[in-house]
Structure 1
Amino acid sequence: MITTIAIGVFAQKQTFDIVSYTPPANWNKDTKGDYVSYSRIDGASWSQIAVYKSRQSSGNIEEDAQKDWQDIVLAGHTIEQEDKTMPKSDEGWQVMSRSGIWQYNGTNVATVLTTYSNGNVCVSVLWNGTAQPYMKNLKDFIASINLDANNVIQKNNSVMNNQNNNLETMDDNNPASVSETFSIAGLWTYYVSEGVGLSGYMRREYQFNMDGTYTYRNKQWLTTAPNIIFMHETGTYTVQGNQLTLTPKKGKAGFWGKKSSTKEWGPLKKSSNYKLEKTTYTFETINDPTYGNAVILKAANATQRDGAQSNNDNNPIEVRYSLRTSASSIDNPPGFKL
């Protein structure tokens, strides 16, 4: 069963230490001595938001953020692709974020630590997640925060709005920043059945990893075709704004014989030429808790990966892939190697 990731649904306002906030509804709450956390698991995807107790500030937001980054994140994880925002200020508070990627059971986890400081006291909010839709939960959580130091309620709406912008643009000079890479990371699939009364199928998918690599696979088991068609491609990708560029490194395609079951592979019949095509797509992600999240890829010309949508390969194409939170339904042929 495919579990839809719940986004944009929130509970009533709560308070921990000096932080008032609205947690995501139906997330599991866990209170420890120095923090309160909220977590959710959807199949193979999960996310966590934690609010830590405030402490005395050093008087410098960057020093406060660095110390919490060291104590909360670096103390327990080996971080790659570190990034940070510039400090923003409003109504006596400053805020900045640090981010990076770490590994958990072989899965890339994105982490963002947001630190607030008024020069006397500082406090941090931690977010971890393995799928792009959870970033909306973080943005909504940050936008709901009010800070109360020394019994003075500090409503930081404009700071929170600035911070939401930072989460979208982490580093304008780095197209592969954590937030931009995370916007497309995940398993995106296009799975269709052959037709009523037929057992065949066509399956295409992109696996975009947090480290900037991708895998593309295409398997076609059609009742009306004598062989199974299979394509496999790996490479790297970059994201800049709404532009996704794929740079393939290896690729292979071929025809395999069939057996009685659609889940089995026959012998390799022949290999076919496979063209490695560097392509830049305009992409749009759609967050839809009812019908599932999707990404739309648009390219100026047809590619072997995506196929043509008309008799003219020079016509633009538009393809839609759905976010899949469970395991892939495409298997490689026995002994297959690129």
Structure 2
Amino acid sequence: MREALFFTILLFTCTTIAAQQQRFDVISYTMPQGWQQQRSEGGVQLSVSDKQSGAYAVAIILKAKEAAAGANENFKAEWAQLVKGTVQVNEEPGMLSPERVKGWEVVSGTAHYTDAGQKGLATLMTATGGGKMASVVLLTNTDKYQQELLSLLNSLDLAEAAEAGPAASAQSGSNASIVGLWVRYTIETSGYANGFPQPSGGYFRKEYAFYGDGTYLFRMKNWAVYAKEIQYVYETGSWKLSGDKLTITPRQGKGGWWSKAKSGKTSGWGAW
């Protein structure tokens, strides 16, 4: 399976497409030819499968729901429920850079999964704006439907985000609005093949944990395939939010290089 499939998509962008677009709630889309569609009050499912080989691809567009949390928290909650609650996922999702589209903050990530002994690739995209969140989930165990999936993804379009209500506005700019874990996770690539970036297996992760008592913890871990050791940074301090201005005051920290785990697992650490 081509691992880079979902790292080249254009997320929720406006496109001009000859085929007729359909709309479900706040998301418009163009269904690939030959796919099946099932609609319900809570979402629409688009799917295609090959009964002989067992290959399949599924896209689920969910109705927007009320969401008071931030974009990153919404993504993590949906990942746990919609992806990990459906298939077996044993790795953290590789994240794309967040996008701002029509008043929405779009967060997306992808990871490998196992389902009934078959391996596949899961992608989740969440759009947070106007006090609501919309989600799109994709699951596939083959690259057979790659072009159809890319066409579907490139056809996705968001309606303008509604203005946030009084409750959402009151929370904006308050300390409670950023309490939690904020993560930037990117995949290391080793070049391109046929125009697609090729993941090497390494990754770069940065995260801020903002606590309700005004303190924070920052951690960075760079696990590069072609580096002998892991680069890390650890920092603690205090933070203050005033309107749109976030002030971070470091207190203590440490950084350096650490050996990799003998097992070769990218999630592990060595002896020193």
Q: TM-score, normalised by structure 1?
A: 0.41
Aligned to 2:126: 115
In 1: Cα distance, 2:122 partner to 2:199 partner: 23
Q: Which consecutive aligned stretches of 4+ in structure 1 deviate over 3 angstroms post-superposition?
A: 149-152, 240-245
Over the matched positions of the two proteins, sequence identity in percent amounts to 21
> RMSD between aligned alpha carbons?
3.4
Structure 2 residue 147 is matched with structure 1 residue 136: yes
Name the aligned partner's letter for residue 53 of structure 1.
K
Structure 2 residue 68 is matched with structure 1 residue 58: yes
In 1: Cα distance, 2:134 partner to 2:79 partner: 12
Aligned to 1:40: 48
Q: Give CA deviations for 1:212-248 in whole Å, capped at 9, x if unaligned.
A: xxxxxxxxxxxxxxxxxxxxxxxxxxxx945999xxx
Name the aligned partner's letter for residue 52 of structure 1.
L
Given that 2:189 and 2:198 are in contact with CA atoms closer than 8 Å, whether structure 1 keeps it comes out as no
Q: Secondary structure of 1:102's partner?
A: strand
Name the aligned partner's letter for residue 72 of structure 1.
L
Equivalent position to 2:91, from 78, 81, 89: 81
Name the aligned partner's letter for residue 63 of structure 2.
K
Equivalent position to 1:105, from 102, 112, 116: 116
Larger radius of gyration: 1
Q: Secondary structure of 2:81's partner?
A: helix
**Higher RCO structure (Cα 8 Å, ≥6 apart):** 2
Give the number of equivalent residue pairs. 160
In 2: Cα distance, 1:243 partner to 1:90 partner: 27
C-alpha displacement of 1:19: 1.1
Structure (1 or 2) with the greater strand fraction: 2
Aligned to 2:204: none
In 2: Cα distance, 1:115 partner to 1:19 partner: 11
Alignment of 1:162-201 (within 5 A): 171-173=186-188
Name the aligned partner's letter for residue 31 of structure 2.
P
C-alpha displacement of 1:141: 1.8
C-alpha displacement of 1:102: 2.0
Name the aligned partner's letter for residue 108 of structure 2.
S
Given that 1:78 and 1:102 are in contact with CA atoms closer than 8 Å, whether structure 2 keeps it comes out as yes
In 2: Cα distance, 1:13 partner to 1:72 partner: 25
C-alpha displacement of 1:174: 5.8
Change (3 A) 1:52 1:242: closer
Given that 2:129 and 2:161 are in contact with CA atoms closer than 8 Å, whether structure 1 keeps it comes out as no
Q: Secondary structure of 1:100's partner?
A: strand
Aligned to 2:31: 23
In 2: Cα distance, 1:88 partner to 1:22 partner: 21
User: Can you give the 5+ residue segments of structure 2 that lack an aligned partner in the other structure?
Assistant: 1-16, 164-184, 202-272
C-alpha displacement of 1:75: 1.8
Q: Give CA deviations for 1:168-209 in whole Å, capped at 9, x if unaligned.
A: xx834266xxxx9xx99xxxxxxxxxxxxxxxxxxxxxxxxx
In 2: Cα distance, 1:130 partner to 1:91 partner: 32
Alignment of 1:312-323 (within 5 A): none
